[in-house]
Amino acid sequence: MTKMRSFDLVIIGAGPAGLGLARSLADSALQIAVVEVQSESILADPPEDGRDIALTHTSEKIMADLGMWPLIPEDQVGTIRDAKVIDGRSPFALHFDSKGSSETGYLGRIVPNYLIRKAAYEVAKDQPNLTLLCDSEVVDVKTDMTQGGVTLADGTVLEAALVVAADSRFSQTRRKMGIAASSLDFGRVVIVCEMTHDLPHHDTAFECFHYDQTLAILPMVGNTSSVVVTLPTQRAEAVMNLSGDEFAADIALRFENRLGPMKLVTKRHPYPLVGVLAKQFVGTRFALVGDAAVGMHPVTAHGYNLGLSGAHVLAREILAAVHNGSDIGATNGLKRYEAAHRKVVLPLYHGTNMLVRLFTDTSPPARLLRGAALRLGHLLPPVKKQIVHKLTRIEGHLR
């Protein structure tokens, strides 16, 4: 006989987006299930995955409100005060600095992803209205006008008024719900790691667009930087196979020794680059959050930031429905979430993809355009000011 369990809300995926949404609803009377295929011991002590996440001021504020920020050890939080974009050997560098444009004096923070995942688990684990079902894979999802249902691999069915998928950019439940997604395979791999160096980084992030590969160097604590190398897929294996010393020497050379000799201090982690955008963020009694809604190219560092802010907007709609004594799975509230989140997501998703195409295209017209874009940005302080403002402002509704 099928085992049935009833909740108000079922969230599929205990990644940072799914757990962030659950935590936003901690003070409600809703009964929430979060279903996760991985074991609880992995959520409690996630392995280091090489990703260092650049956070906007809005994300820092949401993480503080959720109780996550104090759980990130201070000595693991990097600060980005300046950012420079460099195009090959062009003399023009686009320079963003926080002076005069931000109350805090920095553009953003940078934190290892495994610490964010750990903090998300820590704040959610003892939440009284949350049932965490680990080692449980969702194999099916169905919803209709009256309720939603999620089937687990062991045959258990979880019923709920609303089902939210936070099961990564390759979301199987998005597919099962018949929601199409456009995906863009960049044919590239990003290799991430941390490196130490002799010279200080002065809290400056660098994005260097070379003709064959892109190199981002992001300031961590002390003389340590997060290194992000993007290169064509066919070259990734050779770079992964370099010895630590060979890799370090190559990066230092490509970075024109701005930080002096460099040393690899973590494993290198490769990630294939695929951007994904769901055609809709909601369905009948169903919503997508985090990478399941939009999986960004990491070059503009928006994925988790968008996951957090989207979950925050959805939580606001759910709490409003609870407050009014109405249905949390009603179409109107879900549509409001979709409209608000898509408005933020679409320009960032398409803008990022355009930037990637412009800066990885080696054709002469693209090189010209790239040079012109950098000069223009350099010469137009209002454009730069707008970008800095976007990074450092805390969204109005969060103040």
Ligand X SMILES: Cc1cc2nc3c(=O)[nH]c(=O)nc-3n(C[C@H](O)[C@H](O)[C@H](O)COP(=O)(O)OP(=O)(O)OC[C@H]3O[C@@H](n4cnc5c(N)ncnc54)[C@H](O)[C@@H]3O)c2cc1C
| Total chain residues near ligand X (CB under 6 A) | 33
- Which residue's CB is nearer to ligand X, number 92 or number 315? 315
Q: How far is the CB of 10 from ligand X (least distance, A)?
A: 11
Beta strands 224-232 and 214-219, pairing class: antiparallel
37/71 with CB nearer ligand X:
37
Which x/- pattern, by CB under 6 A, does the window 97-126 give for ligand X? Answer: ----------------x-------------
Q: Could you tell me the smallest distance in angstroms from the CB atom of residue 243 to ligand X?
A: 22
Q: Does 310 bind ligand X (CB under 6 A)?
A: no
> Two tokens at 255?
């970075």
From CA 138, how far away is CA 66, in angstroms rounded?
Answer: 26
Q: Which region, left, alpha or beta, applies to residue 123 given φ > 0 means left and ψ of -120 to 50 means alpha?
A: alpha
Q: What is the spatial distance between Cα 53 and Cα 39, in angstroms, rounded to a whole number?
A: 23
* Contact set for ligand X, span 231-290 (CB under 6 A): 271, 290
Among 14, 83, 321, 334, binds ligand X (CB under 6 A): 14
Spatial distance between the Cα atoms of 356 and 127, rounded to a whole number of angstroms? 41
Residues listed for the chain: 399
Taking residue 285's Cβ as centre, other Cβ atoms within 10 Å add up to 25
Contact letters for ligand X, residues 134-153 (x by CB under 6 A): ---xx---------------
Distance in Å, CB of 353 to ligand X, minimum: 15
Residue closer to ligand X (CB basis): 260 or 351: 351
- Give the CA distances from residue 44 to residues 14, 202, 274, 397, in Å, rounded to whole numbers and listed in that order: 11, 33, 28, 31
d(CA 390, CA 104): 14
- Residue 264 and residue 167 in contact, taking contact as beta carbons nearer than 8 Å: no
| Cα gap 171→160, rounded to integer Å | 19
Considering only 58, 305, 360, 392, the residue that binds ligand X (CB under 6 A) is 305
Token pair of 292 as six digits: 């399941």
291 binds ligand X (CB under 6 A): yes
Using the minimum distance from each CB to ligand X, give the nearer residue, 13 or 377. 13
38 binds ligand X (CB under 6 A): yes
Tell me which of 60, 87, 167, 207 binds ligand X, using CB under 6 A.
Answer: 167
Q: Which residues of this chain interact with ligand X, rule CB under 6 A?
A: 12-18, 35-38, 51, 53-54, 113, 137-138, 166-168, 172, 190, 192, 271, 290-291, 298, 301-305, 307
